[in-house]
């Protein structure tokens, strides 16, 4: 939430969204949004991940000045009703893997400075690192939980065997 809010304010944009790649479904799902209507946001996940991945590997910041004639933009009519005229997309990538996309919406077509592009790339890099770190932490939690369950199972079997041993050595 903080990323989309600050990116919108820093760039004087209309709004922003952050889509993170769901590793289970392989779709870029909406994770955070700022200053966009629920009607616009209810469009669902981006399903053309392969197309998006290929396009975003070519450039870290993509400017979509014509939302009606760009295959990366899925809902031009709805965007126009929302007051969107231009979009900046930045890939969130970590070790050549797409982790997500930060999309900034503008109410008018305008020039994008090198300083703004550099800001977006830095922001996207930090987001990608945070996403990767979170995934690693979750993976470690899952491993720890499984180990704890296995340990408890071994301990329960040991207690059971000890109980049987005590019953068998009775008077």
pLDDT, one tens digit per residue, over 143-158 is 888 787 777 777 777 6
Arithmetic mean of pLDDT, 98-112: 93
pLDDT(118) > 60: yes
**pLDDT range class, residue 94, cuts 50, 70, 90:** confident
Q: Output the furthest CA–CA distance in the chain (Å, rounded).
A: 93
Of 14-28, 53-67, 76-90, the least confident: 53-67
pLDDT at 46: 61
Reduce the DSSP state of residue 115 to 3 states and report it: helix
Lookup: tokens for 115: 């300083």
Lookup: tokens for 48: 């053309």
**pLDDT range class, residue 71, cuts 50, 70, 90:** confident
Q: Roughly how many angstroms between the first and final C-alpha of the chain, as a whole number?
A: 70
List pLDDT tens digits, range 51-68: 566 656 667 888 999 899
pTM of the model: 0.79
pLDDT at 23: 86
What is the 3-class SS of 143-158, one letter each residue? HHHHHHHHHHHHHHHH
pLDDT(169) > 80: no
**pLDDT range class, residue 103, cuts 50, 70, 90:** very high
């Amino acid at each position: 939430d903080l990323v989309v809010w600050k990116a919108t304010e820093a760039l004087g944009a209309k709004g922003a969204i952050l889509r993170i790649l769901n590793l289970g479904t392989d779709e870029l799902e909406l994770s955070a949004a700022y200053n966009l209507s629920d009607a616009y946001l209810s469009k669902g996940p981006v399903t053309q991940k392969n197309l998006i991945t290929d396009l975003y590997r070519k450039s870290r910041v993509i400017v979509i000045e014509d939302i009606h004639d760009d295959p990366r933009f899925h809902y031009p009519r709805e965007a126009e009703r929302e007051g969107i005229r231009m979009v900046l997309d930045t890939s969130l990538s970590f070790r050549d893997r797409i982790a997500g996309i930060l999309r900034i919406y503008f109410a008018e077509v305008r020039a994008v400075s090198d300083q703004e592009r550099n800001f977006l790339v830095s922001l996207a890099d930090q987001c990608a690192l945070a996403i990767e770190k979170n995934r690693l932490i979750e993976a470690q939690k899952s491993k720890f939980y499984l180990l704890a369950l296995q340990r408890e199972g071994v301990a329960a079997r040991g207690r059971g065997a000890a109980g049987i041993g005590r019953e068998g050595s009775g008077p």
